[in-house]
Structure 1
Amino acid sequence: MWKNQSYRKVLFGVLAVWAFCGSVSAQSIDGLYQPAGSNWSCSPDQIGVDGGALAIQGDIFNGVENRCDLTSPVRIGDGTRYTAICSAEGSTYREQMTITPTVDGVRITRAGGTAMWDRCEPLQEPSVASTPTNGRWTLGGGQGNYESGTRDANGNSITFTCDDLGANGGLFIELNGQPVAGGQVVINVDGTDFATTAWTEGGRINTECTVCGQTYTALWAAAAAGNLMTITASDGRSAAFSLIGSRDALGDVACQPDDGF
């Protein structure tokens, strides 16, 4: 009898620990953020970059140019206190960090004070016709520069550029007759998303960071081999493009992206 009671106490304790751990991990704090009141790009390919996006992903915390592993979670009221093991500018340090969900995002309390992060707004669903109206993709240009792309009658266009050495590749997008500008642009090819960021002017997509260049190269290959492309900008504008003729226009080898140098 005594042994059974002890066993039950031990079992209850184990289950209580499991339940507690589950409640900590279940908090819905994963996501992309920006400082409260800011208008950052919220681009997932610029996590940790000033003006890009802040992020909490599982037990990884990404601030501006610093990254922390969130360990030893302990519930504190509505939030969770972690022992954060952080790295920034080549140094490593440890601190206590409490993350509390709020209506708009999270509140982060650490040694330096308290910061409020707003959750990045999700992109609006595309409101485009299911049947694209663009023409066949074409290849044109001259004087050492070439353009591969397509457009439709609604002012939507996408253009890949490249020089005759297969380098300095660029990407330009217009939606509803206006260049995309200063925010996230998601390009979906046959169900696969490619997250990019537009510069503030001219409809030009950033290819100058390492991840940006890799995304550009992968997108080029996907567009050349694909059937349907959907583009959605951060302001909700969107368009769908058929990829008929894209392989002939783009070729089998992706242009090397412009790295800014």
Structure 2
Amino acid sequence: MKATVAAIALLGMMLGTQAASAQGFRSGKWTVGFGQGMVEHTVRNGPGNEFMILCDTGATEDAERTGLSITIRDRGAPSSNGEIRIFVDDEELTFFEDKDGILINNRAAQSNFDVLWEALRKGRSMRVLLADGRTSTFSLEGVRKALGPKACETGFTGRMPAKTNAKR
């Protein structure tokens, strides 16, 4: 009798763990996590498809690691180098990935990042298209709560040239 109860309890725990892990990538709901000076705003669509906004809140001194991380495993390797197009409703934004990833470290990327943040908070649908043709849609369920009203600081925030006070 004790062995049967123990076996049923073990089976219940195993099924619960599998259901929780399966739900983690199937749920499509935005989540927020924190680790090593980074706030991670994440949504998943099936196994291997992930869209993440990384906010550098202490990993570097000047938020230099703020950026995006996109993984789409429909075919081949999980990442792509080159142009990445993100569609939120009718808004299309372009980002570029290089050897360092998708960092927000120039004026164009900063502008697109701010527009993306706001579009995600107001949007109904999102699709990502990588340079090699891989694509995935991602849910916007819970995105407003996950992102908050203001975009996080980036490596380019506030790096505009200072005005000079030189007199002529």
Residues of 1 paired with 2:123 and 2:44: CA distance?
A: 17
Shift of 1:134: 5.1
After superposition, what is the alpha-carbon deviation per residue over 1:80-103, rounded to whole angstroms, capped at 9, x for unaligned? xxxxxxxxxxxxxxxxxxxxxxxx
Higher relative contact order (CA 8 A, sep 6+): 2
Q: Deviations over 1:143-191 (max 9, x none)?
A: 5421001112231111111134794421110011744322111000011
Counterparts of 1:143 and 1:205, CA distance in 2: 18
Pick from 22, 27, 32 the counterpart of residue 139 of structure 1. Answer: 32
Contact 2:80 2:132 in 1 (8 A): no
Matched, 1:184 2:83: yes
Q: 1:184 to 1:241 in 2, by over 3 A?
A: same
Cα separation, 1, equivalents of 2:70 and 2:108: 19
- In structure 1, distance between residues paired with 2:139 and 2:121: 11
- Per the alignment, residue 157 of structure 1 pairs with 50
Q: Which residue of 1 aligns with 2:165?
A: none
Q: Is the 8 A contact 1:181 1:200 kept in 2?
A: no
Q: 1:241 aligns with which of 121, 138, 153?
A: 138
Say how many residue pairs are matched: 127
Between the aligned partners of 1:227 and 1:256, the Cα distance in structure 2 is 25
Alignment of 1:221 with 2:118, yes or no, is yes
> Structure 2: how far apart are the matches of 1:242 and 1:222?
13
Q: CA deviation at 1:208?
A: 1.5
CA distance in 2, matches of 1:259, 1:135: 30
Residue in 2 that maps onto 1:256: 153
**Could you list the runs of 4 or more consecutive aligned residues of structure 1 that deviate by over 6 angstroms after TM superposition?**
none
RMSD: 2.5
- TM-score, length basis structure 1: 0.44
Equivalence for 1:200:
99
- Larger gyration radius, structure 1 or structure 2: 1
Q: 1:196 to 1:139 in 2, by over 3 A?
A: same
Q: What TM-score do the two structures reach when normalised by structure 2?
A: 0.66
Aligned with 1:196: secondary structure?
strand
- Structure 1 residues 209, 163: CA separation in 2 closer, same or farther (over 3 Å shift)? closer
- The 1:206–1:146 alpha-carbon spacing in structure 2 relative to 1, beyond 3 Å, is closer
Does the Cα contact within 8 Å between 2:45 and 2:139 map onto a contact in 1? no
Whether the 8 Å CA contact 2:56–2:154 is kept in 1: the answer is no
Distance in 2, matches of 1:246 and 1:185, equals 20
- In structure 1, distance between residues paired with 2:78 and 2:114: 21
Find the residue that maps to 1:252 and give its secondary structure: coil
Indicate the structure with greater strand content: 1
Q: Percent same amino acid among aligned pairs?
A: 32
Contact 1:147 1:162 in 2 (8 A): yes
Q: For residues 196-255 of structure 1, give each alpha carbon's deviation from its aligned partner in whole angstroms, at most 9, with x where no partner exists.
A: 111136xx2142221111111211121122121100011100000110001111111011
